[in-house]
Amino acid sequence: MYKVRRYKLLLANSRLAFLRTAFLVVSALCSNLCCAAPQELVLNGGFESGSGSPDNWASRGNGGYAVWKNDSWGQTGTWYVIAGTNGSSDQYQEWVQTIAVVSGTSFAFSVDSRTENWGTPTGYIQIDWKNAMGTTISSTQKILFSGSKKLTWARYSTGAMTVPPGAVTADFILHGGYYGTILFDQVSVIGEKFVNPDFNGDYIADFEDFSRLAGSWLKSSTIYDMTSDNYVDIYDLAIFASDWLGSFYPPYQGYEVVVNDAVKYQTIDGFGASLTDSSAYLIGHYLNSTERTNVLKDLFDPNTGIGLTYLRQPMGSSDFRHSVDYSYDEVPSGSTDYNLTSFSINYDTTYIIPVLQEALAISPDIKIMGTPWSPPRWMKNTTAWGSGSLINDDRVYRALANYFVKYIQAYAEWGIDINAVTLQNEPYYEPGSYPGMRMEPADQIRLVKFMRPFFDANGIDTKILTWDHNWDNTAFVLTVYADSVARSYFDGSAWHHYGGDVSAQTTVHNAYPAKNIYFTEGSDGTWNDGGFSADLIRNGNFVVDVIRNWAKTVVKWNLALDQYNGPKIAGGCDTCYGFITINSVTHAVSHRPHYYAIGQASKFVRLGAVRIDSTPSPGANIKNVSFQNPDGSIVCFVVNQDASPHNLRIAWNTLSFIYTLPASSISTFVWQPGSNEVNVWITSGDGTKLLQKQHTVYFQ
């Protein structure tokens, strides 16, 4: 087998060598015959198109002002731009457009300009020639005004210039400085058009691109024509041959994420949701075995699906229960059961546990957290599902502590390990219409002082978490942690996003850095539904923000719901969405935007990964967070919030590459140290890419 593979590799290399030789011969034969005709390269040179700012132009500077104007002062048309300052001598403003160039070709840069009738204006036009890393290697400048006013329009030009060696882009700059206002209109850049031979967008001109060129051989084509004659022939082949196996990364725009795996933060336990009673009934009851397996693989298999690795499971019923409210220790009204003789998880064994077991068979890495919405009603001072607190009696606190012990042991008998528990879902909310209970910091301190010793006595290493409610209350957690004994028993705190700001997680982390942070519930629904693109970006930002604020988990709410946001009985949220929607009649499965947003992380960030350092704010509304997996692979999760694409440079360990982030998109970049290959997956807000693998790119 080795010899066969080696032979095939040699054959492939021989073919590539032959093609390269052939291309070079063609290029040499045609070198005196073909060239690109000079043409206009600047876009929107008259500033006539745009919304809020002129299309294709960007402003920058230090103080001063840069304004897109529409009045009779324009040279032609109705629109023009101004740049200048009435402040200190170090202030200036510029309008800039970046154009791809080829070294050795010629350019001429010209513009109509004048000044306003005040001050001592200074202004010039300038070209900054830049290499593939975005570094300016030389500049060409033409002074227009140096302290004197000129109130009539005139044409200014740099004259013909040759692009210096090593330049791949050029910034064409309109500069207005101290002290006055410069008007610019009718910008022109005449030069030889650069045609990118990387037709398939993988940033290298190779056989795939040649195949596309060959497919239009001797045909009319605007895509594969490289000589501006709208026809593909030997002249186009000669230009393509000169670029054979060349790298064609997009121009650097000043946005860079530097990934540093030497700086490590929290370990990641996983991304996931909750297999509520409603979700489990929908998957376990409505779907046949094949459909169920396909759905669970879609959710939990990292190869064919999105590889979720964390489930937060209600202990008894929540608001998403399909038929009845229940706990694990139901007794007749007026009775008590301090010894938990009536304890049973029988309700869960019908479909909740079977679905959990099938998910674990697909992905044994799944971690499970248990959370009660309400303890058994006999433990509460109201004996009601949706309100009340624990009865002030040590017998009740002991019974509830043992309730957790029995729950963990009962699930273990079904082969299901409970990794963590929280003491109470949303302890500062008594919903009334569905199970809930009020707990104060003192209640959780009191309960955990029974629970942890009971866990230890029974050989249970399950983590215990406090709070499990919104970001708008850090005082609860800080009060609990102020008790040194209770603090030693809690692994960390759990958080929801329905109130407050994500920075609350960092507030608690900074106060007690040894305590872990978990994000355990955040739902999407009709109240925050802004359409696919907006919801994708909102959830992508959510992933970045929650992880950058120290969370070990990112857990949404329902894993799956039907077309009516159920099945469920009355009470609680009727407008919540699941990760996926399963039509209860047709069994068709559709994916919500947060399936893709979370999936862009969960598919690649594996159990035991650690967050590593990366540039938090590279600019242009780009957000990111990075990880390193146990196998050493690095994952960079990037959100482009803008409605425009941006070229982002990702740098790591002295290497870098530049990638064009689609508008309103999430991109995930994965690479293995020791290899220069970078795998790329994208979900775009326009829906054209849905967790879709792109062409491999390479570090340079």
Per-residue pLDDT, averaged over 47-60, amounts to 92
For residues 227 and 318, the model is more confident at 318
User: How far, in Å, are 347, 449, 578 from residue 354 at the CA level?
Assistant: 12, 33, 20
Q: Which of 175, 192, 209 finishes a domain?
A: 192
3-state secondary structure of 500: coil
> Could you tell me if 111 and 46 are in contact, meaning their C-beta atoms sit under 8 angstroms apart?
no
Domain annotation covers residue 250: no
Domain annotation covers residue 248: no
Claim to verify: residue 461 and residue 602 sit in the same structural domain: yes
CA of residue 298 relative to chain centroid, distance:
20
Q: pLDDT over 70 for what percent of the chain?
A: 93
Cα–Cα distance measured from residue 147 to residue 289, given in angstroms and rounded to the nearest whole number: 81
246-292 pLDDT per residue, tens: 667 787 888 999 999 999 999 999 999 999 999 999 999 999 999 99
| CATH number of the domain where residue 260 is located | 2.60.40.1180
Cα–Cα distance measured from residue 260 to residue 496, given in angstroms and rounded to the nearest whole number: 30
Report the range of poorest mean pLDDT among 32-46, 630-644, 657-671.
32-46
For residues 453 and 192, the model is more confident at 453
User: How far, in Å, are 321, 356, 376, 532 from residue 327 at the CA level?
Assistant: 12, 19, 5, 37
Claim to verify: residue 176 and residue 321 sit in the same structural domain: no
Cross-strand bridge partners of residue 684: 665
- pLDDT for residue 167: 85
Claim to verify: residue 646 and residue 505 sit in the same structural domain: no
Per-residue pLDDT, averaged over 34-44, amounts to 71
Long-range CB contacts (< 8 A, 24+ apart) of 526-530? 526/575, 526/577, 527/575, 529/577
- Residue 344 predicted with pLDDT over 80: yes
> What is the residue whose two structure tokens read 């960030």?
605
> Could you tell me if 640 and 619 are in contact, meaning their C-beta atoms sit under 8 angstroms apart?
no
- pLDDT for residue 33: 40
- pLDDT for residue 34: 41
Per-residue pLDDT, averaged over 293-319, amounts to 97
For residues 403 and 195, the model is more confident at 403
Half-sphere exposure of 623 (CA within 13 A, CB side): 18
Cross-strand bridge partners of residue 310: 272, 367
- pLDDT for residue 11: 38
Claim to verify: residue 420 and residue 531 sit in the same structural domain: yes
b/e 477-490 (16+ beta carbons within 10 angstroms → b):
bebbbebeebbebb
469-528 pLDDT per residue, tens: 999 999 999 999 999 999 999 999 999 999 999 999 999 999 999 999 999 999 999 999
Claim to verify: residue 339 and residue 431 sit in the same structural domain: yes
User: How far, in Å, are 194, 436, 438, 454, 680 from residue 572 at the CA level?
Assistant: 60, 11, 16, 33, 40
Q: Which of 559, 580, 607 finishes a domain?
A: 607
3-state secondary structure of 543: helix
Q: Which of 581, 607, 633 finishes a domain?
A: 607
- pLDDT for residue 17: 52
> What is the residue whose two structure tokens read 């959780």?
444
Cα–Cα distance measured from residue 170 to residue 128, given in angstroms and rounded to the nearest whole number: 5
Cα–Cα distance measured from residue 136 to residue 157, given in angstroms and rounded to the nearest whole number: 21
- pLDDT for residue 2: 30
Cα–Cα distance measured from residue 95 to residue 113, given in angstroms and rounded to the nearest whole number: 13
Cα–Cα distance measured from residue 255 to residue 621, given in angstroms and rounded to the nearest whole number: 10
> Could you tell me if 690 and 596 are in contact, meaning their C-beta atoms sit under 8 angstroms apart?
yes
Q: Return the closest-CA partner of residue 156 out of 194, 116, 108, 195.
A: 108
Claim to verify: residue 628 and residue 669 sit in the same structural domain: yes
- Residue 14 predicted with pLDDT over 60: no
Half-sphere exposure of 359 (CA within 13 A, CB side): 31
Helix 234-242 vs helix 207-215: crossing angle, to nearest 10: 170
Exposed, middle or buried, 506 (CB in 10 Å: 0-12/13-18/19+)?
Answer: middle
> What is the residue whose two structure tokens read 């019974």?
399
Domain annotation covers residue 247: no
Q: pLDDT over 90 for what percent of the chain?
A: 77
Cα–Cα distance measured from residue 235 to residue 225, given in angstroms and rounded to the nearest whole number: 9
Claim to verify: residue 662 and residue 576 sit in the same structural domain: no
- pLDDT for residue 31: 45
- In degrees and rounded to multiples of 5, residue 390 shows phi and psi of -65, 140
105-135 pLDDT per residue, tens: 888 899 999 999 999 999 999 999 998 778 8
Cα–Cα distance measured from residue 441 to residue 389, given in angstroms and rounded to the nearest whole number: 12
- Residue 352 predicted with pLDDT over 70: yes
- pLDDT for residue 201: 72
- Residue 30 predicted with pLDDT over 60: no
- Residue 142 predicted with pLDDT over 60: yes
537-594 pLDDT per residue, tens: 999 999 999 999 999 999 999 999 999 999 999 999 999 999 999 999 999 999 999 9
Cross-strand bridge partners of residue 314: 371
* Beta pairing class for 622-628 and 634-640: antiparallel
- Residue 21 predicted with pLDDT over 80: no
- pLDDT for residue 41: 87
Report the range of poorest mean pLDDT among 225-234, 433-442, 650-659.
225-234
Domain residues for the domain of 122 are 38-192
| CATH number of the domain where residue 171 is located | 2.60.120.260
Domain annotation covers residue 640: yes
Mean pLDDT of the chain: 91
Claim to verify: residue 335 and residue 212 sit in the same structural domain: no
* Beta pairing class for 79-85 and 154-162: unpaired
> Could you tell me if 306 and 559 are in contact, meaning their C-beta atoms sit under 8 angstroms apart?
no
For the chain, what is the domain count?
Answer: 4
Domain annotation covers residue 54: yes
Claim to verify: residue 295 and residue 386 sit in the same structural domain: yes
- Residue 410 predicted with pLDDT over 80: yes
Domain annotation covers residue 561: yes
> Could you tell me if 629 and 607 are in contact, meaning their C-beta atoms sit under 8 angstroms apart?
no
- pLDDT for residue 212: 86
Cα–Cα distance measured from residue 671 to residue 636, given in angstroms and rounded to the nearest whole number: 9
Claim to verify: residue 419 and residue 557 sit in the same structural domain: yes
pTM equals: 0.76
Claim to verify: residue 600 and residue 617 sit in the same structural domain: no
Q: Token pair of 128, please?
A: 């900054």
Q: Token pair of 351, please?
A: 């479909």
- pLDDT for residue 415: 97
- pLDDT for residue 19: 52
156-176 pLDDT per residue, tens: 998 888 888 888 889 999 999
Claim to verify: residue 103 and residue 171 sit in the same structural domain: yes
61-96 pLDDT per residue, tens: 999 999 999 987 777 667 999 999 998 889 999 999
- pLDDT for residue 678: 95
| CATH number of the domain where residue 465 is located | 3.20.20.80
Q: Return the closest-CA partner of residue 167 out of 191, 202, 143, 187.
A: 191
- pLDDT tier for residue 534 given thresholds of 50, 70 and 90: very high
Exposed, middle or buried, 369 (CB in 10 Å: 0-12/13-18/19+)?
Answer: buried
